[in-house]
Structure 1
Amino acid sequence: MRRLRMGMIGGGPGSFIGPVHRIAAELDREIELVAGAFSSNAGRSRAAGEQYRIDPSRAYADVAALIAGETARADGVDFVTIVSPNHHHLPAARAALAAGIPVLSDKPATATLAEAQELADVVRGAALPYALTYTYSGYPLVREARARIAAGALGTIRKVVVEYPQGWLAGEASGKQAEWRVDPARAGEGGCIGDIGVHALHLAEFVTGLRVTELLADLAAVVPGRALDDDCTVLLRFENGARGVLLTSQIEIGELNGLRIRAYGDRGGLVWKQEEPNSLTLYDLDGGCSMVRAGTALLGADAAARTRTPGGHPEGYLEAFANLYRDFAALLRGEPAPLLPGIEDGLRGMAFIATAVAASRDRAGWVPLSV
């Protein structure tokens, strides 16, 4: 079975997420990065191609050149991955899908809800694989948490608390990675809510299997002069009547990447922390507490299949990303990948951003979240 050929859009010099995608894609040797339009600057794209050690002729000056060059080759790319800032996602995905090239995109799907709705129409019309890298759904113990809730281990879910604190934007937003995230022209209508809030929402819905139906949002741009939110508090109501809280912030000094989810039912509860990803804590109604660890015989089938090392050998962020790439490779080969986030997840995320931003701005109280 040959390795699938990947093209990358974005991920040029100074990119954080581009190298992450490349490492993750190639981890299981099912995929190989062979081409890219790594920057809107032709020279920087060539430089990135050298860093990624691809054929210099396949480091293209722009997306149009990438698509033209690769569709003309007998050994052209099997798909492209989009790792550029949010405002590039729609035009890049639309161009690739129009050329018959499947797409894996970094989240959020687009910069605005209107763009996401347009992209959804394009994806449905193209009838080609399209997926989003909601990274945390790739962690084995996140999938274990989902499976246990679905099997009724916690009973009826009553309360969900999802937190995602960071502190790296507590001061001046300097440097490539910070600057575009606080710029509405490149990030879109949401700041923190769009960068990490969508991760938190997706995790809450993915783990519980429940959709949020209403929200009450309080978003703030805490750092003086900032145009987009950097601190967010959102109350949630789920379709089964459960209540929830979503807390995301990028101004909490000392916090690194503290994503955590807690879910409580009428029979038990669970906790998973991204910074301690190989342990899942379970609570019983009678006061009992137990821990499930990665790489052990206690895991269900899906979590076990997404674990690469024996217990006690930590796996984390790169391996979670790699699990999504493994799922996407399966999809390209015509195999099922039911847990891989797709365009409907993208629409949910963008509807969440738009709804929370508008509700907070207008002090609208409780508003429906629908898509």
Structure 2
Amino acid sequence: MSHRKLRMGMVGGGQGAFIGGVHRIAANLDGQIELVCGAFSSDPQRSKDSGRELYLPENRCYGSFQEMITKEKELPEGERMDFVSIVTPNVMHFEPAMLALENGFPVIIDKPLAFTFEQAKQLRDKVNETKLPLAVTYTYTGYPMVKQAMSMVKNGQIGKVHKIMVEYPQGWLTTKVEDTEQKQAAWRADPARAGISNCFGDIGTHAVNMVEYVTGLKVTEVLSEIRATVQGRTLDDDANVLLHFENGANGVLSASQVANGDENDLKFRVYGDKGGLEWSQKDLNTLIVKDHGNPDRIFRTGGDRGGYLSEEAMLHIRTPSGHPEGYLEAFANIYRNFAHALRGHLFGETVNPKLDYPGVEEGVIGMAMIEAVVESTKNGNVWTKVDL
């Protein structure tokens, strides 16, 4: 029974979409998963046309996610999808995720988990009730050198963490591109589709997830200033946030979509009383290890570096040293690890906890952070508790 590919159904990601194609590549990279059906658009005809372009059978290209989940459940166990991948704008995350869980289908979902914090909590309750696997694609924790950093902090190699700095600058919204045909900008700038935050909700949550993952520490309160820099824009395109962590550490988070000329330069620096770590997506195969009074050490990704890299890092490396690994491989690590957990759930196979992935709890934290950051700004830039 377990010696087969896992069957995936997709919601969203049809013609003209960006992230759906990335999800399909990531799901396909390890040969563990096959796309068997989809409801690729809220427009039934576009959904069916998109499925045809992906060479799916006519009867597995559905006009809506409701139809997909209902019809797939009616299929024999050996034929129906095993899980649902949701790659829609934020406003369309909750309904298909909840319906899938209610019908016994595990879920992998693009971040953020839901449109509102209340919806996120409902999904957490449903996951706790059903015990079904749910993953949120906070992609960047899938990088090998991020795994290395996490394992070094966990093993006490930099001592007690006391300072955390994380930034995520982009420049793509420096002008009001949402008024053009730019589909990605249009929905992100629209509160009816994006929610209460654009910049922090879209990339600030990635930054929080990154440092919470690396340090193992939760943010307890925030003091924020988020704002729309570009005139006439409704939602924030820039975010500056002070962070307090549960162990007493201080943090600074900067996220911006108006950092003119920057791409996706996610970067963190974590400082402890025995040393520090620095990583940047611009040089994602390098981790800089620091210690006051000593030369910096450079740790590098590579399948032949098991002499000094942690098991967590080695489990997520795909290439020999000197060969670049990137975003698609990190994304694929999330899918592979979710597939690993799914095989444990479906077939009782042994699950390796080091093949980890962001789950419903990380999704809830992301939504709680959005709420706290928006509230802090609204109340005059005051310290605001992160309520989970």
Is the TM value for this pair above 0.5? Answer: yes
For the 8 Å contact 1:328–1:337, the answer to whether it is kept is: no
Q: In the aligned structure 2, how far is the partner of 1:234 from the partner of 1:53?
A: 46
Give 1:137 shift.
Answer: 1.0
Q: Which residue of 2 aligns with 1:355?
A: 372
Matched to 2:127, the amino acid is: V
The equivalent position to 1:73 in structure 2, one of 72, 75, 80, is: 75
For the 8 Å contact 1:330–1:337, the answer to whether it is kept is: no
For the 8 Å contact 1:24–1:321, the answer to whether it is kept is: yes
Q: Which residue of 2 aligns with 1:308?
A: 318
For the 8 Å contact 2:225–2:381, the answer to whether it is kept is: no
Q: Which residue of 2 aligns with 1:135?
A: 139
Tell me which moved more, 125-134 or 258-267: 125-134
Q: Which residue of 2 aligns with 1:324?
A: 334
The equivalent position to 2:63 in structure 1, one of 61, 64, 82, is: 61
Give 1:48 shift.
Answer: 1.4
Tell me which moved more, 295-304 or 233-242: 295-304
The CA deviation string for residues 209-228 of structure 1, in whole angstroms up to 9 with x for no partner, is 11111110000011111111
Tell me which moved more, 69-78 or 213-222: 69-78
Q: CA RMSD in A?
A: 1.1
Q: Which residue of 2 aligns with 1:110?
A: 114
Tell me which moved more, 179-188 or 360-369: 360-369
Note if 1:366 corresponds to 2:376. Answer: no
The equivalent position to 1:299 in structure 2, one of 309, 316, 323, is: 309
Counterpart secondary structure, 2:136: strand
For the 8 Å contact 2:165–2:251, the answer to whether it is kept is: yes
Matched to 1:186, the amino acid is: R
Q: In the aligned structure 2, how far is the partner of 1:67 from the partner of 1:100?
A: 10
Q: Which residue of 2 aligns with 1:288?
A: 295
Give 1:364 shift.
Answer: 4.6
Matched to 2:120, the amino acid is: A
Counterpart secondary structure, 1:119: helix
Change (3 A) 1:210 1:178: same
Q: Which residue of 2 aligns with 1:151?
A: 155
TM-score (norm 2): 0.94
Give 1:53 shift.
Answer: 2.1
Q: Which residue of 1 aligns with 2:348?
A: none
Counterpart secondary structure, 2:262: coil
Q: In the aligned structure 1, how far is the partner of 2:93 from the partner of 2:239?
A: 24
1:233-312 to 2 correspondence within 5 Å? 233-295=240-302, 296-297=305-306, 298-312=308-322
For the 8 Å contact 1:218–1:233, the answer to whether it is kept is: yes
The CA deviation string for residues 317-338 of structure 1, in whole angstroms up to 9 with x for no partner, is 1100110111111111112446
Q: In the aligned structure 2, how far is the partner of 1:194 from the partner of 1:186?
A: 12
Q: Which residue of 1 aligns with 2:361?
A: 344
Note if 1:201 corresponds to 2:208. Answer: yes
Q: In the aligned structure 1, how far is the partner of 2:123 from the partner of 2:202?
A: 19
Give 1:115 shift.
Answer: 1.3
Counterpart secondary structure, 2:127: helix
Give 1:72 shift.
Answer: 1.8
Q: Which residue of 2 aligns with 1:177?
A: 184
For the 8 Å contact 2:375–2:384, the answer to whether it is kept is: no
Task: List gaps (5 residues or longer) in structure 2.
Answer: 345-350
Task: List gaps (5 residues or longer) in structure 1.
Answer: none
The CA deviation string for residues 302-327 of structure 1, in whole angstroms up to 9 with x for no partner, is 21111111001111111001101111
Percent identity over the alignment? 49
Tell me which moved more, 293-302 or 21-30: 293-302
Give 1:288 shift.
Answer: 1.6
The CA deviation string for residues 176-220 of structure 1, in whole angstroms up to 9 with x for no partner, is 111110111111111101001100000010001111111100000
For the 8 Å contact 1:327–1:337, the answer to whether it is kept is: no
The CA deviation string for residues 22-42 of structure 1, in whole angstroms up to 9 with x for no partner, is 000010000011111000101
The equivalent position to 2:51 in structure 1, one of 30, 49, 52, is: 49
For the 8 Å contact 2:39–2:64, the answer to whether it is kept is: yes
Matched to 1:29, the amino acid is: G
The CA deviation string for residues 214-269 of structure 1, in whole angstroms up to 9 with x for no partner, is 11000001111111111000001111111110000001110000100101111111
Give 1:285 shift.
Answer: 2.2
Tell me which moved more, 93-102 or 51-60: 51-60
Q: In the aligned structure 2, how far is the partner of 1:274 from the partner of 1:55?
A: 39
Q: In the aligned structure 2, how far is the partner of 1:269 from the partner of 1:46?
A: 51
Matched to 1:308, the amino acid is: R
Q: Which residue of 2 aligns with 1:230?
A: 237
